[in-house]
Amino acid sequence: MGRSIYFFGAGQADGDAQQKDLLGGKGAGLAEMTRLGIPVPPGFTVTTEVCNAYYAAGKVLPAGVEDEIKAAIGRLESLRGARFGSADAPLLVSVRSGARASMPGMMDTILNLGLNDEIAQGLARRTGSERFALDAYRRFILAYADIVLGVPRDRFEDALGRARRQAAAKLGVDATRLNSAELERKVPDSLLDPESLAALIQRQKDIVLGATGRPFPDDPAAQLWGAIRAVFDSWKNHRAEVYRKIHDIPEAWGTACTIQVMVFGNLGDDSGTGVAFTRDPSTGERRFYGEWLPNAQGEDVVAGVRTPHPLSLTGTGAGGADDGSSLEARMPAVYAELFAVQGKLEQHFREVQDLEFTIQQNELFLLQCRAAKRTGRAAVRIAVEMAKEGLISQREAILRVDPGSIDQLLHPSIDPSAPKELLARGLPASPGAATGQVVFSADEAERRAGQGRAVILVRSETSPEDIHGMKAARGILTARGGMTSHAAVVARGMGKSCVAGCSAISVSQGRMAVTTYDDHGRTTGAITVKDGDLITLDGGTGTVYLGAVPTVPAALSDEFGELMAWADAVRRLRVRSNADTPHDARTARNFGAEGIGLCRTEHMFFDEERIQAMREMILADSELGRRRALAKLLPFQRSDFLGVFREMAGLPVTIRLLDPPLHEFLPQDEAQLAQLSRATGVSAEDLRHKSEELAEYNPMLGHRGCRLAITSPEIYEMQARAILEAACEVAAAGIEVEPEIMIPLSMTRRELSLTRALVEEVAEKVFAEKGRRVDFRFGTMIELPRAALRAGELAEESEFFSFGTNDLTQTTLGISRDDAGRFLGAYVEAGVFAKDPFQSLDVAGVGELVEIGRDRGRAVRPGLKLGVCGEHGGDPSSIAFFERAGLDYVSCSPFRVPIARLAAAQAALAAEAARGPRATD
Ligand code: PEP
Ligand code: MG
């Protein structure tokens, strides 16, 4: 282990921005800001290595670390001319967590540490405000009791209520009938007088004594050790673990712990605290943007209890006019300094920064800077604009956007022309439209989402304990809090619709009371929304509607088009789409698909008229009967293919012949059986008997795929005819077609030579009948381990392979696709798989079969075209593998085409970087 402590202060720092692994994002940012000459309260960071050593030793700090911490405290004392633990010139510190990746609000932080009764009096003398000193002290006790001593905050609520009532009595406010929220509004923290605060402090200490059997620790040194341990412990608290799982953050990283001199934003009206972004994190617009609260501590902004004010005259957040509450209006000099700092930081890091600052009696301090979390829309705009400003290169711009995050851009928003009933307005905290049933608790959100219901989580405000419910919900609505409240930040990170700070609603006891207003802002009445009622959120405008409101498809920005064009210029992998209908084909093409990689023909058989013919075919006793039924299906198939070919003019279209086991098409209930009996003249009894005959124990490994063609070749004959007749027809109309006929689930050369002979025979007949020839390719899916292993012999018969990684994963792992959901979660939790292998390719196992298939296939047929059409074709980390594996294309669902294009470009850039600079001989 290297050094344990990195000091920063007075313009010098041991660490720098590169050392996030060791110092956490917060520690590294503070060190770098100090080096840049930006005003930062001095402090030091205990490294993540110490955290890991602490856990390795069974939660014991490594030897020597305590002495180093004491020495570092000594340096802070001499820098500030104050003493930790002294009443004469008290030095208070904050103890903050901070991991390599930002985990907003998930871990613990303690402010105002270093106080006891005596020191609080000293602080009162130093600051000239007893009210301030006692307020700092009671906040400290509350946080310390909750975080370090394990006495939950809500145990102190009554004591706080009593203090408010005591203060109310002095103010002449009748508080007898007020509930706690009303009381807080009437007597906010700032109105608690010294006497009520002193009584509150005593009560808090009594509660601690009662709950723990020990007095609250008076010794500042003991407080410090307790807090440092608690910060390290918070790395493994439940909510941090959940957050890590969602965001793929390894447990082995550990958290750092930063101990920093306190500065106070609550020393009066010349003080304050806030959060700022160098660009708008929702839209990406280049404007300095943020919120602040006068006379407040940082936790007041994050907790979202008070609704903050905008920073600047133009950045009014909710879109209203500035009422003189902005920082720019109230403290123009401080605002100007902050504005200069943000510009400097963005230029320095060449990245949008999220800043935390505190103003202590007109003096500005920066407490944190980090790369800002942003919506997908903002990410795209920021990357493109920064490249155009020359701050970053086009290649960096491509790498800056998480492909998963652009999903948000591609999804529908509220239909502006649809009738809708406005319920309330709040802040546009995270864009996107979401409709669902109202639920009031995170647990309930999770439970109902688990039953497949869409829910909107409605809370007064959210806290990190709600994270599982936020994940399960479609959208989040909060009554309180600003654009940087917990709800807003977390929802943006998850790409979820969120309306925050919706002050017209109040939430209590399982219902939401909504005050309604007219156009002039006058109250018109009240509506009660109950658990289970439907509402719709528009997170882009901050609007809440009653009921379900229809949505319209996404409209893509110019910046999005530009970024995609840059990505297309660097990627090597082609991107196709899985599409079964002309409509899907058009969507795919609009999203930039360069062909269809998988058209699943079975999806075409489920329409009312078609399923009937299909059932007749399956249940026919003779080949003649089957052919008669197939003849009815032929025109349907042909017209489907015509539509798809027209949409994809000039691009390849891979059509897979019938794949699923036939019993999937059979009647599911008695009514369907009776209907089929009437249509075919076969008795219901006989039909039932035939259905039972077709049932399989394990249909996924049963009579499906090309096995159907070995027993009933006439099915594939009909399909080949429909494809080729349609191809001739569009060719006759002067439209370029490139059909590719694909055989599913093959594993032997013989299966392919038989089906190929059948297709070629049909082709010759069709071409003779139509008097024209159309070029087409014949190929197969690789979905079984044997197919990958025997790829050489399959390549003798195939011009292309498409890896069906859904089935290939199922058959390689021996895990049923349909049953995996029951236990794969536990597998991922236990670390057997890093991710669900049906979502993200098992590169080590299934990936090796892909490579074997590639090598053995290309050895026989060098020009063999290779693609992927399983779900993995739209998954960024799997795409990175397909790029490395040198495949020709991936194919994914239409909405994932842009994601795949961007991921393919990033994979190409990564591959280029891995090859390193080329030798210049
Ligand atoms: C596959 O198995 O990967 C595939 C694309 O086919 P399906 O999902 O239809 O079985
Ligand atoms: Mg398959």
Nearest residue CA, atom 9 of ligand 1? 600
446 lines ligand 1 (CB under 6 A): no
Under 8 Å CB-to-CB from 482, ≥6 apart: which residues?
291, 301, 304, 307, 308, 317, 427, 488, 500, 501
The conformation of residue 466, written as its DSSP 8-state character, comes to G
CA distance 766 to 770: 6
871 lines ligand 1 (CB under 6 A): no
CA distance 704 to 33: 63
Q: Helix (H, G, I), strand (E, B), or coil: what is residue 803?
A: strand
Nearest residue CA, atom 3 of ligand 1? 804
CA distance 504 to 526: 9
* Ligand 2 center from residue 807 Cα (angstroms): 5
pLDDT of residue 302: 61
Give the gyration radius of the chain's Cα atoms: 33
Q: Where are the beta strands (DSSP E) in 51-151?
A: 93-99, 109-113
Ligand nearest to the CA of 869: 1
Provide the Cα torsion 236, 237, 242, 244; round to 10°: -40
Contact assessment for residue 741 and residue 720, using Cβ atoms and an 8 Å cutoff: yes
Pocket test for ligand 1, best of 659, 704, 747, 806 (most atoms within 8 A of CB): 806
Q: What's the angle, vertex CA 760, arms to CA 758 and CA 763, rounded to 5?
A: 115
CA distance 243 to 463: 13
Which residues hold their Cβ within 5 A of ligand 2, which is an ion? 783, 804, 807
Q: First vs last Cα of the chain: how many Å apart?
A: 42
870 lines ligand 1 (CB under 6 A): yes
Determine how many CB atoms are found less than 10 A away from the CB of residue 771.
8
Q: What's the angle, vertex CA 167, arms to CA 163 and CA 168, rounded to 5?
A: 115
Q: Catalytic one among 309, 486, 663, 872? A: 486
Up-side HSE of residue 174: CA atoms within 13 Å toward CB?
Answer: 1
905: left (phi over 0), alpha (psi -120 to 50) or beta: alpha
Contact assessment for residue 673 and residue 687, using Cβ atoms and an 8 Å cutoff: yes
807 lines ligand 1 (CB under 6 A): yes
Beta strands at 413-414 and 363-371: parallel, antiparallel or unpaired: unpaired
List phi, psi (to 5°) of 914. Answer: -70, -35
Q: Catalytic one among 51, 706, 869, 892? A: 869
Provide the Cα torsion 342, 345, 349, 354; round to 10°: -40
CA distance 361 to 297: 13
804 lines ligand 1 (CB under 6 A): yes
pLDDT of residue 315: 47
pLDDT of residue 303: 60
Q: What residue type is 516 in one-letter code?
A: T
Respond yes or no: is residue 502 known to be catalytic. no
* Ligand 1 center from residue 701 Cα (angstroms): 13
Burial of 525 (0-12, 13-18, 19+ CB in 10 A): exposed
Contact assessment for residue 502 and residue 484, using Cβ atoms and an 8 Å cutoff: no
* Ligand 2 center from residue 657 Cα (angstroms): 11
The conformation of residue 90, written as its DSSP 8-state character, comes to B
CA distance 659 to 668: 19
883 lines ligand 1 (CB under 6 A): no
Ligand nearest to the CA of 891: 1
328 lines ligand 1 (CB under 6 A): no
pLDDT of residue 319: 42
* Ligand 2 center from residue 504 Cα (angstroms): 51
* Ligand 2 center from residue 802 Cα (angstroms): 10
Scan for tokens 């109310």, then name that residue. 168
pLDDT of residue 919: 47
Nearest residue CA, atom 10 of ligand 1? 807
Q: Helix (H, G, I), strand (E, B), or coil: what is residue 128?
A: coil
CA distance 882 to 876: 10
User: In this structure, which topology does domain 121-218 adopt according to CATH?
Assistant: Acyl-CoA Binding Protein (1.20.80)
Pocket test for ligand 1, best of 578, 598, 658, 704 (most atoms within 8 A of CB): 598
pLDDT of residue 180: 77
Q: Please state at what angle helix 713-732 crosses helix 623-647, rounded to 10 degrees.
A: 30
Q: Where are the beta strands (DSSP E) in 327-411?
A: 353-360, 363-371
Determine how many CB atoms are found less than 10 A away from the CB of residue 448.
20
Contact assessment for residue 428 and residue 539, using Cβ atoms and an 8 Å cutoff: yes
Q: What residue type is 691 in one-letter code?
A: S
Atom of ligand 1 nearest to the CA of 578: 5
CA distance 144 to 139: 8
893 lines ligand 1 (CB under 6 A): no
Selected from 3.30.470.20, 3.30.930.10, 2.170.120.12, 3.90.1150.10, the CATH number assigned to the domain covering 270-374 reads 3.30.470.20
CA distance 299 to 297: 5
Contact assessment for residue 98 and residue 25, using Cβ atoms and an 8 Å cutoff: yes
Domain 1-116+219-262 belongs in CATH node 3.30.1490.20: yes
Nearest residue CA, atom 5 of ligand 1? 870
List phi, psi (to 5°) of 190. Answer: -65, -15
Atom of ligand 1 nearest to the CA of 803: 3
CA distance 549 to 527: 18
Ligand nearest to the CA of 893: 1
CA distance 855 to 846: 14
Atom of ligand 1 nearest to the CA of 806: 3
Up-side HSE of residue 783: CA atoms within 13 Å toward CB?
Answer: 23
497 lines ligand 1 (CB under 6 A): no
Burial of 127 (0-12, 13-18, 19+ CB in 10 A): middle
Q: What's the angle, vertex CA 257, arms to CA 485 and CA 495, rounded to 5?
A: 30
CA separation, residue 873 to residues 555, 839, 892, 895 (Å)? 24, 10, 5, 12
Tokens read off for 559: 């910046």
Respond yes or no: is residue 486 known to be catalytic. yes
Q: 789, 723, 717, 780: which is closest to 753 by C-alpha?
A: 780
Q: Which residues of the chain have pLDDT under 70?
A: 301-305, 314-322, 408, 411-412, 483-484, 492-493, 495, 518-522, 553, 555, 821, 917-921
Domain spans of the chain? Answer: 1-116+219-262, 121-218, 270-374, 417-551
* Ligand 2 center from residue 328 Cα (angstroms): 61
Provide the Cα torsion 270, 276, 282, 285; round to 10°: 100
Domain boundaries 417-551, corresponding CATH code: 3.50.30.10
Q: Helix (H, G, I), strand (E, B), or coil: what is residue 452?
A: coil
Q: 464, 485, 465, 488: which is closest to 476 by C-alpha?
A: 488
Q: How many residues does the chain have?
A: 921
CA distance 807 to 804: 6
783 lines ligand 1 (CB under 6 A): yes
Pocket test for ligand 1, best of 596, 600, 706, 842 (most atoms within 8 A of CB): 600
Pocket test for ligand 1, best of 604, 742, 783, 841 (most atoms within 8 A of CB): 783
Nearest residue CA, atom 6 of ligand 1? 804
Q: Helix (H, G, I), strand (E, B), or coil: what is residue 103?
A: coil
600 lines ligand 1 (CB under 6 A): yes
Atom of ligand 1 nearest to the CA of 598: 5
Beta pairing partners, 343: none
Contact assessment for residue 122 and residue 152, using Cβ atoms and an 8 Å cutoff: no
Burial of 584 (0-12, 13-18, 19+ CB in 10 A): buried
The conformation of residue 843, written as its DSSP 8-state character, comes to T
840 lines ligand 1 (CB under 6 A): no
DSSP structure string for 480-543: S--TTSHHHHHHHHHT-EEEE--TTEEEETTEEEEEEE-TTS-EEEEEEEETT-EEEEETTTTE
